[in-house]
Amino acid sequence: MESFRLLSLRYYLVFIMNFQFKVLKKDKNSRARLGRISTPHGEVNTPVFMPVGTQGTVKALTPERVKELGAEIILGNTYHLYLRPGHTLIKKLGGLHRFMNWNGPILTDSGGFQVYSLGTLRKISEEGVTFQSHIDGSKHFLSPEFAIEIQEALGSDIMMCFDECTPYPADHEYAGKSLDLTVRWARRCKEVKRTSNQALFGIVQGGIYQDLRKKAVEKLTDIGFDGYSLGGLSVGEPKDLMMEITEAITPLLPEEKPRYLMGVGTPDDIVECVNYGIDMFDCVIPTRNGRNGMLFTKNGKVVIKHARYRNDESPLDSECDCYTCKNYSRAYLRHLFIAKEILAIILNTIHNVRYFIRLMEQIREAIKNDNYDAFLKDFKSQVSGLQSEND
């Protein structure tokens, strides 16, 4: 009897340690869906927005504050954490969760986009990418195998395959070759993966060409991954083209796997792409815009430096439940920003991150009630405000 209990406990531990995804509900009038991701560090309700913690921190926020704001998962970055403080050090100190004191799930980007953004400071070959550090100019080499080695050392719950982020513009021939390289790299990533408790997502490239994107889906699903992401979007192409690709390709991704749109985006982008069936989003917009004094509200953007807020005693957003809106006026937030006080960045970031998390909560509630189409229309009508008179 005792051995049976031990065996049952062993299987239970294996079960809870492995990555899982389950579609819980589909909206009746759209492609939007509710899901749940299970990881060794907890569960994530989808659709979800992942605050970006590139270098082991969501800028201006403690991990405790990020959790209080409702975030269930954050994003870290292979490229940046490899350069400093180094993945070997982080592994020695107990992995990224312990290192940054975050006990929830973490997704790590493979570094492909960061290497792409280096431009002339990198050289692509079949084996990988040789690049110069943006910090000190030192030379480094990142291959699919090394990208997985770094992410395994970091101990993230979800790892991304190393890919070539296809630039915009790129002609069909270049985009095709780039896609083929990404697929070969993806296969190498899967072959070298050693851990059983870390998920691995494939990245669909192909530029703005739907035939290439469809080819990518076919090849990546043949290899088989725990989830699939759309990469190489929001890199300079017109928004309507990004939406066209997302709408056309998302339904081709396996229904039983999570679908991740990388680096997107604005609130209106998110609301629209949930309608296409996307489950996961990340973007630096809430934190970056917070530092720059651009804040999201139910009525659109507020550029807090504007003189119109000098005597404004009202909260930033009367419907927001964040610490900033509960305790401070627009006049005070403007004063802090104009005075270049550090507290301005903190309070602005608290609000923006909470705005995005609340938006996802509202999205999930609308899907739960089979009301997403009405939610989408209402959001669009309200938020012509996101390009409002405050800009």
- CB–CB of 190/225 below 8 Å? yes
Residue 17 pLDDT level (bands cut at 50, 70, 90)? low
From the list 208, 132, 128, 134, the residue with the least C-alpha distance to 161 is 128
Backbone angles phi, psi at 158, to 5 degrees: -130, 125
Amino acid at site 382: Q
Q: What percent of the chain has pLDDT over 70?
A: 93
User: What tens digit of pLDDT does each residue of 327-341 get?
Assistant: 999 999 999 999 999
Q: Is 244 left (phi over 0), alpha (psi -120 to 50) or beta?
A: alpha
19-283: CATH class: alpha beta
Q: What percent of the chain has pLDDT over 90?
A: 88
Q: Which residues contact 144 (CB under 8 A, 6 or more apart)?
A: 128, 161, 162, 185, 186, 188, 189, 192
Indicate the average pLDDT of the chain: 93
Say if residue 204's pLDDT is above 50: yes
CA-based angle 109:322:340, to the nearest 5?
Answer: 80
pLDDT at 168: 94
The single residue of 27, 163, 269, 282 carrying the catalytic annotation is 282
Radius of gyration of the chain (CA): 21
pLDDT at 381: 87
**3-state secondary structure at position 298:** coil
User: What tens digit of pLDDT does each residue of 303-326 get?
Assistant: 999 999 999 999 999 999 999 999
Residue 13 pLDDT level (bands cut at 50, 70, 90)? very low
Residue 362 pLDDT level (bands cut at 50, 70, 90)? very high
CA distance 280 to 41: 17
pLDDT at 329: 98
pLDDT at 384: 61
Neighbour-count burial of 17, counting CB atoms closer than 10 A to its CB (0-12 exposed, 13-18 middle, 19+ buried): middle
Residue spans of the domains in the chain: they are 19-283, 290-377
Q: Is 269 a known active-site residue?
A: no
User: What tens digit of pLDDT does each residue of 243-275 get?
Assistant: 999 999 999 999 999 999 999 989 999 999 999
pLDDT at 194: 97
The single residue of 27, 109, 163, 317 carrying the catalytic annotation is 109
pLDDT at 164: 94
CA-based angle 219:220:225, to the nearest 5?
Answer: 150
User: What tens digit of pLDDT does each residue of 30-45 get?
Assistant: 999 999 999 999 999 9
CA distance 68 to 149: 32
Q: Which residues contact 34 (CB under 8 A, 6 or more apart)?
A: 23, 24, 25, 26, 45, 46, 47, 364, 367, 368
Q: Which residues contact 276 (CB under 8 A, 6 or more apart)?
A: 31, 246, 247, 250, 251
Which residue is listed with tokens 């009301």? 371
The stretch 8-36 carries a mean pLDDT of 79
Residues in a beta bridge with 303 = 294
The stretch 178-203 carries a mean pLDDT of 97
Residue 388 pLDDT level (bands cut at 50, 70, 90)? very low
Backbone angles phi, psi at 168, to 5 degrees: -125, 130
Two structure tokens written together for 99: 């290192």
Say if residue 209's pLDDT is above 60: yes
CA distance 266 to 272: 10
**3-state secondary structure at position 59:** coil
Q: Is 109 a known active-site residue?
A: yes
CA distance 29 to 373: 6
Amino acid at site 301: K
- Name the strands in the sheet holding 139-142, side by side, starting at the edge strand that comes first in the sequence: 122-124, 129-132, 139-142
